[in-house]
Amino acid sequence: DQQVKQNSPSLSVQEGRISILNCDYTNSMFDYFLWYKKYPAEGPTFLISISSIKDKNEDGRFTVFLNKSAKHLSLHIVPSQPGDSAVYFCAASGGAAGNKLTFGGGTRVLVKP
């Protein structure tokens, strides 16, 4: 049972444009959501998070939106840069899951110069 899903395995975007990554979850008890960025042969790097009591969180070029009624969150990267090319994972925690992170399958982003 995949509780966190990223339905787009890949995304290609032109440098300077917006990248939008989507994530859906099924467990309504999740109360914390995070986005991680991962390069090959490295561990995931934390990008941005959002608590379930908020619907938006912004940090520089990164903004995460949470729609609890739809059980959907998205990550916006504006403007996209070539260094953003990586695999992005959304993750959720809370409820019976406690502090363990439940990850989506990842979206590979390619930013073209």
Partner 1 sequence: KAGVTQTPRYLIKTRGQQVTLSCSPISGHRSVSWYQQTPGQGLQFLFEYFSETQRNKGNFPGRFSGRQFSNSRSEMNVSTLELGDSALYLCASSKNTAGGYGYTFGSGTRLTVV
Footprint of partner 1 (CB under 8 A)? 31-32, 34, 36, 41-46, 49, 51, 89, 91, 93-94, 97-106
Token pair recorded at residue 7 = 């339905």
Query: Residue 106 or 111: which CB sits closer to partner 1?
Result: 106
Residue 93 CB, shortest distance to partner 1, in Å, is 4
Of the two residues 48 and 80, which places its CB atom closer to partner 1 in the complex?
48
Contacts of 112 (CB under 8 A, 6+ apart): 12, 13, 14, 15, 82
Shortest spacing between CB 112 and partner 1, in angstroms: 25
Comparing CB distances to partner 1, the nearer of 39 and 72 is 39
Determine the Cα–Cα distance for residues 101 and 79; give it in Å rounded to an integer: 28
Proportion of the chain in helix, strand, coil states, percent, rounded to 5: 5, 55, 40
Question: Shortest Cβ distance from residue 70 to partner 1 (Å)?
Answer: 21
Number of residues that this document lists for the chain? 113
Q: CB of 43: closest distance to partner 1 in angstroms?
A: 3
Nearer to partner 1, 69 or 99 (CB): 99
